[in-house]
A and B are shown apart, each in its own frame.
Chain A
Amino acid sequence: QSVLTQPPSTSGTPGQRVSISCSGSSSNIGTNTVNWYQQLPGTAPKLLIYSNNQRPSGVPDRFSGSKSGTSASLAISGLQSEDEADYYCAAWDDGLNGVVFGGGTKLTVL
């Protein structure tokens, strides 16, 4: 069971907007920033969002992140077939003194 809670799956049609939630606690999301990773099938994870809402160079602005209290959210607008992947949230946990991940959300583009 993961420290951060994400829905196991979500889906959308091309062009649609989808959102993935990530719920934590005061020791992780409540006091530290959240990062999001995208893992395409058979590949290594890739940093998608850092510091709650910052995009690394090369990440389309269709991807956005937000945080409020002990929860965070990743939004993907203008959904494309190549967005089909697993998405993970992560944050530093002050109590565990390490990084905790969400269980991952599998996004299916219908």
Chain B
Amino acid sequence: EVQLLESGGGLGQPGGSLRLSCEASGFTFSSYAMTWVRQAPGKGLEWVSAIRGTGSRTYYADSVKGRFTISRDNSKNTVYLEMNTLRAEDTAVYYCAKDRFGYPGDAGFDYWGQGTLVTVSS
């Protein structure tokens, strides 16, 4: 059974940092791209970042480029999202999702975690 378990959410200060983790199980982790999608309170879904299964290439939404860094440790079946220079508009539930293929694209996300809430406020 595929499981994705996010952690690391909480209260962050404007200009501060948070690190999200997503531990995966139930599939060959290194064979699949992984993606972070966020959802602000009462709003729709927003794609944030993705990383290839090999970790060789990363992708970012313009809204987070230069502030967020995605990475993965295939030996620990875990993908990370390092969030720096936090802004109020980064407040959202952050979902970790498994891509259907080894590289990000239009294949779709077939499994999602339960999400972790990030609140940016002073």
- Chain A residues in contact with chain B, CB under 8 A? 2, 32-35, 37, 39, 44-47, 50-51, 56, 86, 88, 90-92, 96-104
Contact = CB atoms under 8 A, between A and B. Distances in A.
Nearest to A35: B108
25 contacts: A2-B44, A32-B105, A33-B106, A35-B106, A35-B107, A35-B109, A44-B95, A44-B113, A44-B114, A45-B112, A46-B112, A47-B110, A50-B100, A50-B107, A50-B108, A50-B110, A92-B105, A92-B106, A97-B59, A98-B47, A98-B50, A99-B35, A99-B47, A99-B50, A99-B106
Contact of A56 (B47, B62, B110, B113): B110
Contacts of B44: 2, 86, 88, 101-104
Contacts of B113: 44
A91 B105 CA distance: 8
A47 B109 contact: yes
Those 8 A-B pairs whose CB atoms lie nearest each other, nearest first: A35-B108, A92-B106, A50-B108, A99-B47, A32-B106, A104-B44, A44-B112, A33-B106
Q: How large is the interface on B (under 10, 10 to 19, 20 to 34, 35 or more residues)?
A: 20 to 34
A51 B108 contact: yes
A7 B104 CA distance: 27
A46 B27 CA distance: 18
A92 B108 CA distance: 9
B46 interface: yes
Given A50-B110, A98-B47, 9 more contacts: A33-B107, A35-B107, A51-B108, A86-B44, A88-B44, A92-B106, A98-B59, A101-B46, A103-B44
B47 to A, nearest CB: 4
Among the interface residues B37, B45, B60, B61, which one has the most CB atoms of the partner chain A within 10 A? Answer: B45
A44 B104 CA distance: 20
Contacts of A33: 106-107
A36 B109 CA distance: 10
Contacts of B115: 44
A86 B108 CA distance: 17
A45 B108 contact: no
